[in-house]
Structure 1
């Protein structure tokens, strides 16, 4: 049944008497809201992203939101396609978790909808961020030097390969330098997360420990070492970063830094929901601390 003209006129008069002013932004938001949050990740194959996705989906879906997931790997081309797919669904906001998407691509989307990035640290005025605070690199450097190692290699990722891993490689390097050591660079693989086999083999007579910016890189290095008959940690000690999934269990015994994915997911979803509810809310930049896992690889 429609509303009669008399009723509409009465409501309009009451509103005028009360000094009511229509909130155009709120009305538009209500009219266009899809209750959908887009999630863009680097890959679903790594434990970090899998656990992050699960934690965010649980939180968002419990509040009545649907989630739309897509993956974007390298560079602007993949990022444009991934964002295009998500924006086509008219999401209320987007959460990005990929160290391989250039910040300029993320900020371009942040000018259209609220965006929160998980991974790289940021000072953007358009995009919120949630990141590991980097303290794990210093803790691991202290651990490896306390174990008596002086000749230490660091797997170096380029910024073009991964913004997050490149920054972490640099932080590991700087943490060793602060302790008076001269680290030795070991090339990362040009394909998947890992080390360049030839460069690692050539490094074996120069280093007694290798620091990896994530656990998949550690596992890849360990597999190579095992195939060459090199014992971990007797011949070469290894450290990783992430501390997630099955590889972080005592059975594997990795020495690594556990990122607090639950806290990162909570901070990202909370900020995202706050910005949906109040579009003028400024993006926040949150740092999350993890914890050391002492295993058998050092």
Structure 2
């Protein structure tokens, strides 16, 4: 039986390049001074031999793991899946690996807390938390032990660094869009802060802006997409309602399905908005009007921030609230009977109090 060929070592690279082992070590680690010609010779030798840096050996020598732990609430959803991909790519550029723990999207707070404990036991050097459920007080014990960044949700605790899309801006911008089209009676599918610290603030911002500008608002509690049929029934029960604002694209698509089953034309009878602008649901084929989050930037900056914390630096922006973009699709339009010249609606209106 033929022996398996062994992997080349740093000694093999040194012999091939005609330099000492310490020179190869300096080139591989990026630390110390090495002439450019010598560095190129070492790189060529490593490529010819197929030498790959042994991460475990590197960690033992440096007494470090070069590993970041990331908890992602539900990697199966477009938002968290894209966020995780962006973080992994950025971490690799910094020379770090990402070890991930994921939930099913139905984890309780206690389950998410245990997942963070598991990551910490794996000797990760830092943590990135991506969850709209886990409250600040349950993250704080980890932030006191390890550099910790919260990504993808509003977080303003002074001891926790965060990167997220500005939910207030997004919710208000979507409301302004509908008001600009002439909608004056709008239903908002709301989510409580207890159920989500991402969906909660954005739906609250929608309601707040609509009220500020004199619109009548029907609030329909709706954290779970499975109840989309009930949202449709409630909105249609009020004939004055001309638009429905959903807390996410996934919620919006669930609502669109229920409206179609009931023969409701969108946007002819009702306009519908979503939120996120990520993955397949953002396709022009659906044409959903939504607020697009800069998910790649959120993931990249979260990793940048955690690396800065590992280097003993404080990120320039402790809490980074990033701007999003309004994407106008075909699910919104002026209400039937809207006279843009007189800024009034000529069709029927409901006198009901919401």
TM range (shorter): 0.7 to 0.9
1:119-198 mapped onto 2 (5 Å cutoff): 119-134=152-167, 135-189=169-223, 192-193=224-225, 195-198=227-230
Query: By how many angstroms is 1:54 displaced?
Result: 0.7
Shift >3 Å, 4+ stretches: 29-32, 72-75, 192-196, 279-283
Aligned partner of residue 183 in structure 1, secondary structure? strand
- Tell me, what secondary structure is at the counterpart of 1:33? coil
Tell me: CA distance 1:181–1:30, structure 2 relative to 1, closer, same or farther (3 Å): farther
1:221 aligns with: 255
The aligned residue for residue 265 of structure 1 is 299
Asked whether the equivalents of residues 271 and 331 of structure 2 are also in contact (C-alpha less than 8 Å), the reply is yes
1:113 equivalent in alignment to 2:160: no
Q: Larger C-alpha radius of gyration, 1 or 2?
A: 2
Number of paired residues?
268
Q: Deviations over 1:147-175 (max 9, x none)?
A: 11111011111222111111111011101
Structure 2: which 5+ residue stretches go unaligned?
Answer: 1-59, 333-354
Alignment partner of 1:203 out of 235, 260, 265? 235
TM-score when normalising by structure 2: 0.71
Aligned-partner SS, 2:146? coil
Structure 2 CA distance for partners of 1:79 and 1:279, relative to 1, 3 Å: farther
Write the distance in 2 (CA, Å) between the matches of 1:52 and 1:261.
6
User: What runs of 5+ residues in structure 1 fail to find an aligned partner?
Assistant: 1-28
Q: Indicate if the aligned counterparts of 2:170 and 2:202 stay in contact, CA closer than 8 A.
A: no
- State the superposition RMSD in angstroms: 2.0
**Structure-2 separation of matches of 1:203 and 1:243:** 24
**Following the alignment from structure 1 to structure 2, what is the Cα–Cα distance between the partners of residues 256 and 58?**
26
Is the 1:100–1:161 Cα contact (8 Å) retained in structure 2?
yes
Aligned to 1:56, which of 70, 87, 103? 87
